[in-house]
Amino acid sequence: MQRYAIIGHPVSHSVSPKLHNAAFAAVGLDCHYEAIDIDPADLGDGIASLRSSGIAGFNVTIPHKKGILPLLDRIDDAARAVGAVNTVVHRDGVLTGYNTDIHGFRALIAPFEKAVNGGTVGILGAGGASRAVLHVLTTSFTPRRIVVLNRTTERAEEIAGEFSSSPVPIVPESLFQDELQELVSGLGVIINTTSVGMKPYTDASPLEQIDFRRDQIVADLIYTPAETALLKAAKEAGATAVGGLEMFLQQAAESFRLWTGKEVNMRKLWEGLE
Ligand code: NAP
């Protein structure tokens, strides 16, 4: 039996073991996927032990997506550009890192291509997920301008600097400012990459008391809950609200494809699990 896992801290809440074990069963592979909690201080030892155990592959989640880079033998170009790895393949003794959040976000945003291209896109947050979103928006789409709004403005400035060679102008802004309503009203597409509103703090929103327009598209990468407070407010204003489940399922499908070479319909599996 081949072993797979997700590593993170904490990680016991992850639904990835359920989903991937269902996927292995669906394609008839004798594999098992488990959640492994690794404290950031033990990441080096943890990866060495996974390597010697002969694990076939693993997902990487918060807070290890960045820290794992120097511990791998090879890193895929897109994952290196984003500076984060969420999938590792262990083949012939070589650990190779990929970032399938890129595939997941591309699938989430693809139906809104018309609004993104030529439009002004606002990204809330400047962490790992924000970098994957910026990578997709600047390499697969042609927005006129991207505004990165973050609680810590220095991080928004840092990320804008990292993507400064992109053909799209990237403007860093504070998420806490007097002109926030005006700024948000100027956005055609809004993408939340902060963790604000995630279970169990489901009443919180990164844009409290902000009015949305009917023609705005508001996406949230959070998928627990399926409808965040941000999406609820957007929906009530008549805007298009898009949850993060599609991204989660598509990143999982791409990880599974990298490990097994097999395509699975993760949405169908997810609906079965629910
Ligand atoms: P991260 O690197 O830790 O970044 C977290 C971001 O949230 C930072 O910009 C941080 O701002 C902001 N933030 C945290 N608490 C805040 C608060 N109280 N008020 C305002 N801003 C706050 O995390 P990440 O890896 O980017 O993940 C972010 C979210 O995306 C998580 O909810 C994760 O579940 C979700 N995600 C979903 C998928 C999917 O498949 N759907 C994939 C990846 C990530 P500061 O810089 O000021 O700290």
Domain of 223: which CATH number? 3.40.50.720
pLDDT tens for 60-90 read 999 999 999 999 999 999 999 999 999 999 9
147 and 198 belong to one structural domain: yes
Q: Is the pLDDT of residue 274 over 90?
A: no
Predicted pLDDT of residue 38: 98
132 and 60 belong to one structural domain: no
Report whether residue 14 contacts ligand 1, using a CB cutoff of 6 Å: no
256 and 224 belong to one structural domain: no
Distance between Cα 127 and ligand 1 center (Å): 6
174 and 233 belong to one structural domain: yes
Band (157; pLDDT cuts 50, 70, 90) = very high
117 and 214 belong to one structural domain: yes
Share of the chain above pLDDT 70, in %: 100
Share of the chain above pLDDT 90, in %: 99
**Residue 261 lies in domain:** 2-99+247-273
The count of domains in the chain is: 2
130 and 156 belong to one structural domain: yes
Residue 117 in contact with residue 267, Cβ under 8 Å? no
Average pLDDT across the chain, whole number: 97
48 and 132 belong to one structural domain: no
Write the secondary structure of the chain as one string of H (helix), E (strand) and C (coil).
Answer: CEEEEEEECCCCCCCHHHHHHHHHHHCCCCEEEEEEECCHHHHHHHHHHHHHHCCCEEEECCCCCCCCHHHCCEECHHHHHHCCCCEEEEECCEEEEECCHHHHHHHHHHHHHHHHCCCEEEEECCCHHHHHHHHHHHHCCCCCEEEEEECCHHHHHHHHHHCCCCCCCEEEEECCCCCHHHHHHCCCEEEECCCCCCCCCCCCCCCCCCCCCCCCEEEECCCCCCCCHHHHHHHHCCCEEECCHHHHHHHHHHHHHHHHCCCCCHHHHHHHHC
82 and 123 belong to one structural domain: no
73 and 184 belong to one structural domain: no
Q: Is the pLDDT of residue 37 over 90?
A: yes
**Ligand 1 atom, smallest distance to 155 CA:** 46
Q: Identify the CA nearest to 48 among candidates 74, 28, 73.
A: 73
Q: Is the pLDDT of residue 137 over 90?
A: yes
259 and 178 belong to one structural domain: no
**Ligand 1 atom, smallest distance to 224 CA:** 34
- Known catalytic membership, residue 235: no
Query: Rounded to two decimals, what is the model's pTM?
Result: 0.96
CATH code of 75's domain: 3.40.50.10860
Residue 33 in contact with residue 20, Cβ under 8 Å? yes
Residue whose Cα lies nearest atom 6 of ligand 1: it is 194
Residue whose Cα lies nearest atom 44 of ligand 1: it is 129
